[in-house]
Structure 1
Amino acid sequence: MGIAASELSRYVIRPTLMYLGCHCPTAEALLLGVAASQSALGDALDSRRGHGLYRITESRHQHLWDNYLALDPDRASLVRGLASQHAFLKGPHLELTVNLRYATAIAWLLIEAQGSPLPLANDVLGMARIWRQTFQPQGRLRDFATAWQNCVTARQQLA
């Protein structure tokens, strides 16, 4: 069983988005849905498909740093501030697995780099389209919707 959706939002996603200066209800819901779709909110944090809650591959991580964050040194410094001081230098991709706030920032920046307009926070299919565009190009919208139902809606009803 992964992380409780409400706690992931409250203690990881929301503070990270606020730290980056880009918090809004849709961004928070979208990242929660991505974590649900990619890893069932952390049931397994590392696989051949990618690292951490958001299943980010090493190549996508590197590409984001080289082609997006490198163009904005202030933003890069802000994101680097979330990473472990010494561990990041030895194994930057491991941060995606062990550092939830860093992984959340990287996941958000992958979405931001796509430049797609955000749907409303309750538009599950709209969020699914962004998930597919950013994280799973071959993904099915219903996979996102099912993960949302199983990991977010169902767990919130149990709480």
Structure 2
Amino acid sequence: MYTSTIGFGGPLKHYAFASRNPRNNVYKFCPFGTSARPLRLLTLVKASVEDQWPAPTSYKLWPTEISISSGVYNFVQGSELVAYAALVDAGFSGDWSRIGVLTSDQELSAQQAWWFILVAHSVVAAITVGYALRRGYPPLQAGVRGLLFGTLGLYDVYVRCQSNPVQRS
């Protein structure tokens, strides 16, 4: 990996430039577009760091032998987030009761459902972090997955950890 400079001359640690000549790897900062040397397009090549926890291509539904693709699984996770956003909007905005779509009792029920889901996901996030620490998976990433997606996030961390078994010494 070649260290180079960009902007005001600070070194780039995580990216390697395609050019081996350091003179070609300088981007001169000029607010109005004029420079002693014309600006060059820089081609950044991501440093080759092997991903220890790759995203699975399919998720095997436990305990069956049925597998679903990661695209379907990601769609389910995204739709779950959209449903939570709709629940928060219905429960806390007050707009839906003003226009007559929901009653105030239904908004109160949506608020209570949201708080229940938030507490349940917090518990699942703690369980996910504990599992991730035992398996060597990054705990912050696991906790965020558990908090956002609940048991889907826990299952996602489980599948990723199964693809990379822990090595005990």
TM over 0.5: no
With the shorter chain as reference, the TM-score category is under 0.3
The TM-score with structure 1 as length reference comes to 0.23
Larger Rg: 2
Answer 1 or 2: which has greater strand percent.
2
